[in-house]
Amino acid sequence: MYKYTPHIWLCLVVMFVQIFLLDNIDLGASISIWVRPMIFPLIVLLLPVEWRSIWVLLVTYVVALLMDLLLGGSGIYVITLLPIALFRSALLFLTTRRSMDSTDQSQLLARMPLGQLMVYVATSLLLYHTLFFVMETLSLANFFSLLMTIILSTLCSLLISWPIVRLFTSKVY
């Protein structure tokens, strides 16, 4: 349990920042339409790599359910976060070009070159934001504005997430 204390802290801090800061920050109506940063997928992305898929899926479900309850998502956070948990291994494999079945996985995130780590986080966030905004609008009628929202929100989320990722991977692993 002690081993996972940093992860629990990460979860609490990220959820706190997301709920009380990012979701309440007032950037003005014209900016809020385009930029809606979401950093809580980091909780899933930074879960121990050696964990079995079933634990990753269940923890993600609990986190997403909490987000739904606290932000009134009515299920949208579960719908969009579970695929990230399911494809996390594949994303890591594609980014690092190494099998996730190898025994030496515990330090994988810390040993990853910064470029690969950046690609892993950015791709995952992009995937998450795409799923989220498509599910939210349920329409491709305003495709280009949807695309702009996805890109700008992903970039903003990445900017906020990156210091947290660096801090976490350097201190914890």
Q: Which positions lie near another protein, rule CB under 8 A?
A: 53-54, 57, 61, 64, 74-76, 78-79, 82-83, 85-86, 135, 138-139
Cβ distance to another protein smaller for residue 17 or 57? 57
Cβ distance to another protein smaller for residue 27 or 86? 86
* Least distance CB 88 / another protein (angstroms): 12
Cβ distance to another protein smaller for residue 57 or 126? 57
* Least distance CB 111 / another protein (angstroms): 26
- Say if residues 91 and 98 touch (Cβ distance below 8 Å): no
Cβ distance to another protein smaller for residue 35 or 78? 78
* Least distance CB 13 / another protein (angstroms): 25
Distance spanning both ends of the chain, measured CA to CA: 16
* Least distance CB 167 / another protein (angstroms): 30
Cβ distance to another protein smaller for residue 87 or 162? 87
* Least distance CB 53 / another protein (angstroms): 5
Strand, coil or helix: 169: helix
Burial bucket for residue 2 (CB in 10 Å: 0-12, 13-18, 19+): exposed
64-91 in b/e form (b: 16+ CB < 10 A) is: bebbbeeeebeebbbebbbebbeebbeb
- Crossing angle of helices 76-96/114-137, nearest 10°? 150
Question: Scanning the structure block, which residue is given the tokens 């190494």?
Answer: 98
